[in-house]
């Protein structure tokens, strides 16, 4: 079987069983793999060829984690072909290969000046959803997909909570709302322009099939950042900012984890680097027994 044929079968049978938020990125990774391995038979792909793909992608400047995810997809394709489709293959060449080192996680914080400029810019955008999503992201620690996938039934304004059933880690959680987040949700849900043919709070324009899906604002976000001269800031960094602020406000790791949805303290740790100036203030409150000022 050719790699390209196996990939087509995988995309037709396996990919649709995954979360919608996973399907599109997976199809993009699949096409990247197809360009390199498409003309090979599955049985002719060995670890040397897999290593060549890895090295080429790194040489092209792709981020290590991007390459790791592409290799993981290729490995899952081989495992599926061998275990479920019963295709006789000598080995999974991606199983034992050395993966690129990911390195430390991002630690991008939002400066006060950046926040003020962004808040002003999104507030003046023609689509008010841009402002609501921005404010909710900073206030709640929720991921973009979690916010844009919400319907009014998920939000309890009286109790000031949002119930999330479909999360990245597969576990449901309940997110408490600040007064400001509650206000943003109230306005968004009551928005008279919200389409009635879709139950999403943040619905985009209908696709070619006439179906409305979650509002996609990546291009708008990129233009806003460019107009303000803000670099190296992803929308996901707002989640990091929100989590860091909860830690700085004195919430325990367990309390922060309950809000953010991080499954382990180790996962949460990379988001909780405190500002040095805050630590200096705390050090000044430590009793001094040396007799000096």
Per the annotation, the verdict on 236 as an active-site residue is yes
Indicate the domain borders of the chain: 3-83, 112-279
Q: Which two tokens stand for residue 248?
A: 């700085």
Say which of 143, 182, 225, 240 is annotated catalytic. 143
First-residue to last-residue Cα distance in the chain = 77
In the chain, what percentage of residues exceed pLDDT 70?
A: 88
Q: What is the pLDDT of residues 173-232, one digit of tens each?
A: 899 999 999 999 999 999 999 988 899 999 999 888 888 999 999 999 999 999 999 988
- Considering only CA atoms, which of 89, 108, 107 is closest in space to residue 43? 89
Does residue 236 carry a pLDDT above 80? yes
CATH of domain 112-279: 1.10.443.10
User: In the annotation, is 125 catalytic?
Assistant: no
Kindly name the residue from 168, 173, 234, 245 that is annotated as catalytic.
168
Among residues 131, 182, 225, 239, the one annotated as catalytic is 239
Share of the chain above pLDDT 90, in %: 65
Q: Specify whether 131 is catalytic.
A: no
- pLDDT score, position 275: 53
Q: Which position among 19, 83, 98, 236 bears the catalytic label? A: 236
- Phi and psi at 134, nearest 5°, equal -60, -50
For 81-108, the DSSP string reads: HHHTS----S--TTTSSPPPP--SPP-P
**Better-scored residue on pLDDT, 10 or 232:** 10
Between CA 119 and CA 130 the distance in angstroms is 10
CA distance 162 to 170: 16
Give 117-142 pLDDT, tens digit per residue: 999 999 999 999 999 999 999 999 99
Residue 76 designated active-site:
no
Told to judge if 10 belongs to the known catalytic residues of this protein, a careful annotator would answer no
Tell me the per-residue pLDDT of 33-42, one tens digit each, with 9 for 90 and over: 999 999 999 9
User: Considering 54, 131, 154, 262, which one is annotated as catalytic?
Assistant: 262
73-82, 180-189, 221-230, 244-253: segment of lowest average pLDDT = 244-253
Domain 3-83 CATH assignment equals 1.10.3470: no
The pLDDT assigned to 276 comes to: 56
pLDDT category at 31 given cuts 50, 70, 90 is very high
Residue 222: phi, psi to the nearest 5? -65, -40
Q: Tell me, yes or no, if the pTM score tops 0.85.
A: no
Q: Is 80 exceeded by the pLDDT of residue 103?
A: no
Q: What pLDDT is stored for residue 79 in this prediction?
A: 96
What pLDDT shows up at residue 245? 87
Would residue 225 show up in a list of annotated catalytic residues for this protein? no
Average pLDDT value for residue range 243-260: 84
- Average pLDDT for the chain: 88
């Amino acid at each position: 079987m050719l790699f390209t044929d196996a990939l087509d079968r995988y995309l037709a049978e396996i990919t649709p069983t995954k979360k919608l938020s996973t399907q599109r990125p997976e199809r993009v990774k699949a096409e990247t793999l197809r360009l390199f391995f498409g003309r090979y038979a599955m049985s002719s792909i060995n670890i040397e060829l897999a290593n060549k793909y890895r090295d080429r992608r790194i040489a092209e400047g792709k981020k290590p984690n991007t390459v790791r995810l592409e290799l993981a997809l290729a490995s899952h394709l081989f495992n599926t072909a061998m275990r479920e489709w019963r295709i006789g293959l000598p080995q999974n060449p991606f199983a034992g290969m050395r993966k690129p080192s990911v390195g430390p996680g991002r630690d991008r914080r939002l400066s006060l000046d950046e926040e003020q400029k962004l808040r002003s810019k999104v507030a003046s955008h023609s689509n008010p959803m841009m402002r609501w999503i921005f404010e909710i992201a900073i206030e709640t620690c929720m991921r973009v997909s979690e916010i844009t996938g919400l319907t009014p039934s998920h939000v309890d304004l009286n109790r000031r909570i949002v119930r999330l059933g479909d999360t990245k880690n597969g576990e449901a959680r309940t997110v408490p709302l600040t007064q400001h987040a509650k206000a943003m949700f109230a306005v968004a849900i009551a928005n008279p322009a919200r389409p009635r043919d879709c139950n999403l709070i943040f619905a985009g324009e209908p696709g070619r099939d006439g179906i409305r899906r979650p509002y996609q604002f990546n291009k708008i976000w990129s233009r806003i950042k460019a107009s303000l001269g803000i670099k190296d800031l992803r929308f996901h960094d707002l989640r990091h900012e929100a989590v860091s602020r909860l830690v700085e406000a004195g919430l325990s790791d367990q309390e922060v984890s309950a809000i953010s949805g991080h499954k382990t303290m180790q996962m949460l740790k990379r988001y909780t680097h405190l500002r040095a100036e805050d630590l200096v203030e705390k050090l000044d409150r430590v009793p001094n027994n040396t007799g000096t000022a």
